[in-house]
Amino acid sequence: MRFKGKVVLVTGSSRGIGRATALAFAREGARLALLGVEPTEGEAVAQECREVGAEALWLTARVELEPDVKEAIDRIASRWGRLDVLVNNAGIYAKGDPVTTTLSDWERIMAVNVTGAFLCAKYALPIMIAQGSGCIVNVASEAGLVGIPDQVAYNVSKGALIAMTRSQAVDLAARGVRANCICPGTTRTPLVETALAHSADPQATLRTLEGSRPQNRLGRPEEIAAAIMLLASDEVAYATGAVLSVDGGYTAQ
Ligand SMILES: NC(=O)c1ccc[n+]([C@@H]2O[C@H](COP(=O)([O-])OP(=O)(O)OC[C@H]3O[C@@H](n4cnc5c(N)ncnc54)[C@H](O)[C@@H]3O)[C@@H](O)[C@H]2O)c1
């Protein structure tokens, strides 16, 4: 019960890594605020959190819209009066190289993946600073560390999240707030299942993805959730500005 009594906000928690993360925090005693754009699925995850004994609040909001984020965080403050952990997990993906990427895909990805994380932190931080404690975990990607072909907007957005983490760490350390970043490798979630389904030969694409990393497999959402919780836990209170790869060895090559 490492997070007993703590209030944890996980964005994009209606499925995939966000859902696994919310459930993992719930099992360790946290009170969960779940935020995202899929209310039916999100309410179902909130119910799963309650079934393991946690309080849970679903908030329908788009992370890139300032009024949505402000209202959601106001609701957390009025419900629990505090916020201990923000997991900036909401993210979207589109294919495209530096020539084929459309301006609208570029702007959509930057809005959700970068502006969304900035806004959630912007409105969460006054609460954390007033408490004198708090912690942000930004979910970047292996794509923020190396150039993965044909996904330039996504790569750039994840590189920006790594830079945001370092900026947050240096600006907030003296105010009791930590910021760290996790770089997952390819993990079997709806995001990846959709990308596989759209490929010419899903089985061959899956084998290529698996074979591109030393562990020769994809990650499981629960493995990413466990690393997010480690960075959020008081046991690693000295860690701020850290960038943790959990990618089956992909970026070690
Ligand atoms: N799955 C992977 O292989 C992988 C690898 C590295 C990093 N990541 C990152 O991990 C995070 C979670 O990925 P996932 O694979 O679970 O994806 P997913 O598509 O399964 O889930 C993404 C979640 O974000 C939500 N979301 C989308 N747009 C939103 C918006 N505008 N506002 C609020 N919520 C929104 C979705 O509804 C969903 O709940 C993302 O940031 C992704 O880039 C994933």
Report pLDDT for 48: 98
Sheet with 134-139, strands from edge to edge, namely 56-60, 31-36, 7-11, 85-88, 134-139, 177-184, 243-246
Ligand 1 atom nearest residue 18's Cα:
16
Report pLDDT for 195: 87
* Most ligand 1 atoms within 8 A of CB, residue of 17, 138, 243, 245 to mutate: 17
pLDDT tens-digit readout, 66-113: 999 999 999 999 999 999 999 999 999 999 999 999 999 999 999 999
Residues framing ligand 1 (Cβ under 6 A): 11-12, 14-18, 36-38, 62-64, 89-92, 112, 116, 139, 141, 184, 186-187, 189-192
Report pLDDT for 246: 98
Mean pLDDT throughout 219-243?
98
Nearest-CA residue for atom 25 of ligand 1: 12
Mean pLDDT throughout 239-251?
98
pLDDT tens-digit readout, 120-134: 999 999 999 999 999
For residue 215, how far is its CA from the centre of ligand 1 (angstroms)? 23
Nearest-CA residue for atom 36 of ligand 1: 12
Report pLDDT for 29: 97
d(CA 165, CA 179): 6
Nearest-CA residue for atom 18 of ligand 1: 191
Which tokens belong to 183? 């770089």
Which active-site residues does the annotation give?
154
pLDDT tens-digit readout, 25-69: 999 999 999 999 999 999 999 999 999 999 999 999 999 999 999
* Most ligand 1 atoms within 8 A of CB, residue of 92, 136, 198 to mutate: 92
Report pLDDT for 129: 98
The pairing of beta strand 134-139 with beta strand 177-184: parallel
Domains along the chain? Answer: 7-184+223-245 (3.40.50.720), 188-218 (no CATH)
Is the distance from CB of 69 to CB of 47 less than 8 angstroms? no
Nearest-CA residue for atom 33 of ligand 1: 36
